[in-house]
Amino acid sequence: MIAALSPLPAIELAPLLIGATLLVDGVGGVIVETEAYEADDPASHSFTGERPRNQAMFGPPLTAYVYRSYGIHWCFNIVTGPAGHGAAVLVRAIEPTTGLAAMAERRRMAEPRLLAAGPGRLTEALGITVRHNGLPLDAPPFELTPRADAPDIVTGPRIGITKAVDRPWRFGLRGSPFLSRPFR
């Protein structure tokens, strides 16, 4: 049950999500890359307080926080910590395992390695949009299943941020070809 994952700080939840299975309407796969964003983190959307854009980030743990990045693509986060805390884990990449045909159609490509390698690709492949913002992850259309075994996890700096860039709060499955970018 995913309740065992709550309410952990983002920095603790992010590595625990590596190896978990995420499905949206029965389509998805194994989470292979995440990033943690805590409330006191200058790179976090919650750092300056609750606003209409980030309101879901202050909601109950294990709900979706979905936002538009650079006006181009959606990003999917898992809210964590106690309600009102303002922390979340960005899901950066999955290894597609279920519903590959649906993902390929949505992405207009068939290369499994590139279907969900990166936050924008992931949301497009899984059909995640703002309509999922604030929804609980323990009810349809979501299914989040914790990992069975402890995988070999690598850590490194987060990607695409300009603040708190030195924090090693990016987590990935060592050697996975489905990462958005390799770890150094």
The CATH number for 107's domain is 3.10.300.10
**Is the confidence at residue 2, as pLDDT, over 90?**
no
Mean pLDDT, rounded, for 114-119: 96
Residue 152, in any domain of the structure: yes
φ/ψ (deg, to 5) at 180: -70, -35
- Cβ contacts of 139 within 8 Å, gap of 6 or more: none
- Cβ contacts of 82 within 8 Å, gap of 6 or more: 7, 61
User: pLDDT at position 49, please?
Assistant: 63
Percent with pLDDT over 90 in the chain: 70
Nearest in space to 121 (alpha carbons), one of 91, 157, 150, 101: 91
Max mean pLDDT among 22-36, 42-56, 66-80, 147-161 falls in 22-36
**Is the confidence at residue 100, as pLDDT, over 90?**
yes
Give the single-character DSSP code of 152. Answer: -
Better pLDDT: 182 or 58 = 182
* Per-residue tokens: 150: 């402890």
**Is the confidence at residue 1, as pLDDT, over 60?**
no
Residue 179, in any domain of the structure: no
φ/ψ (deg, to 5) at 130: -60, -20
**What dihedral do alpha carbons 164, 62, 59, 133 form, nearest 10°?**
90
User: How confident is the model over 57-96, as pLDDT tens digits?
Assistant: 888 999 999 999 877 899 999 999 887 778 899 999 999 9
Residue 180, in any domain of the structure: no
> How many independent structural domains does the chain possess?
1
Residue 91, in any domain of the structure: yes
Tell me the pTM: 0.93
What is the spatial distance between Cα 49 and Cα 62, in angstroms, rounded to a whole number? 20
Domain around 48? 2-173
User: pLDDT at position 5, please?
Assistant: 67
User: pLDDT at position 90, please?
Assistant: 95
What is the spatial distance between Cα 173 and Cα 152, in angstroms, rounded to a whole number? 6
Residue matched to tokens 């978990």? 20
User: pLDDT at position 56, please?
Assistant: 84
Residue 184, in any domain of the structure: no
**Is the confidence at residue 176, as pLDDT, over 80?**
yes
* Mean per-residue pLDDT of the chain: 90
- DSSP helix/strand/coil, 180: coil
User: How confident is the model over 33-51, as pLDDT tens digits?
Assistant: 999 988 777 566 655 766 8
23-32, 53-62, 118-127, range with the lowest pLDDT: 53-62
